[in-house]
Amino acid sequence: MRPPRPVRGLSIVRRLPSGGAGFLTLERVLARNLYRDGRRSPAYRFEVVHRRGVDAVAILPFYFHPPGRLMIVCKVGFRPGLYTRSRLHPPVRDRRDYTSVVEAVAGSLEPGDRGEAGISARARAELLEETGMKPLPAGTVGLGSGFFPSHGQSTEKVHLRAFRVDPLRAVAPAGDGSVNEADAGTLAIDAETILVMCRLGLIEDPKLEIGVTRLMRAIGRRRTQSDHF
């Protein structure tokens, strides 16, 4: 739909202190578990990452392509963190160099985004910012509760929102001013194909796999109840 700017690699200009200002905060503590019978565990250390707005939202923009194929608008672009995996010598060698990845449209919540209404408002803002699209009237589909992508290392919960869109009405996305969002593009993929790509490792974003699975079930239920889109 909108091709990304091709990236061939990454050049580190300089390394910044890990404790500096940013969107993420790393907390290292020594703690004990407190039990209901009054006892305490031995002291142990744990580390956890907090996001500035605590949580995030993932958006499933969708439309139907005749004869009724469910299409999902995805984001495609460069994620520098994934590109650096090769320097870490992972236990299984990656099959690609991660100069481009397909993922869900998503964004971090801001501290002022409160409640379900605040999350939905942020989802609409991120949808417009990243794709140039707006939800169609009465085109919102509930996808259930959020999920934790990393129970052991992060307090972040990802909330899901699905909006029906008309890609022909898309405008040029404003972006958030960052390099990699400006370089990113959009891609519409058939929902069934997305799930196959996830199983094959061609897409490695749990937000997409969980969101598409739930969306297909929700739309199937609506069609069974004769509530056509």
Confidence at residue 76, expressed as pLDDT on a 0 to 100 scale: 96
Cα–Cα dist 75/194, whole Å: 12
Instruction: Give 226's pLDDT tier (boundaries 50, 70, 90).
Output: low
- Read off the tokens for 112: 């002022």
Cα–Cα dist 138/170, whole Å: 18
Confidence at residue 95, expressed as pLDDT on a 0 to 100 scale: 85
Give domain limits for the chain. 56-148+156-224
Confidence at residue 224, expressed as pLDDT on a 0 to 100 scale: 55
Confidence at residue 22, expressed as pLDDT on a 0 to 100 scale: 82
Instruction: Give 19's pLDDT tier (boundaries 50, 70, 90).
Output: confident
Inter-residue contact 209 to 195 (CB < 8 Å): yes
Confidence at residue 49, expressed as pLDDT on a 0 to 100 scale: 94
Confidence at residue 222, expressed as pLDDT on a 0 to 100 scale: 65
With a cut of 70, say whether residue 229 has pLDDT above it. no
| DSSP for 77-103, written as a single string | E--HHHHGGGGG--SS--SS--SSEEE
- What average pLDDT does the structure give for the chain? 92
Per DSSP (E only), the strands in the chain are 24-31, 44-51, 56-65, 69-77, 101-103, 105-108, 140-141, 158-164, 185-190
Candidate from 82-96, 146-160, 204-218 with smallest mean pLDDT: 82-96
Confidence at residue 107, expressed as pLDDT on a 0 to 100 scale: 94
Cis amide prior to 67 (ω within 30 degrees): yes
Question: What pLDDT, in 10s, does the model give residues 146-187?
Answer: 999 999 999 999 999 999 999 999 999 988 889 999 999 999
What is the dotted CATH code of the domain comprising 56-148+156-224? 3.90.79.10
* Run of H or E including 218: helix 206-224
Confidence at residue 13, expressed as pLDDT on a 0 to 100 scale: 94
Percentage of residues of the chain with pLDDT beyond 90: 82
Cα–Cα dist 38/61, whole Å: 50
Question: What pLDDT, in 10s, does the model give residues 25-83?
Answer: 999 999 999 999 999 999 999 999 999 999 999 999 999 998 889 999 999 999 999 99
Confidence at residue 228, expressed as pLDDT on a 0 to 100 scale: 55
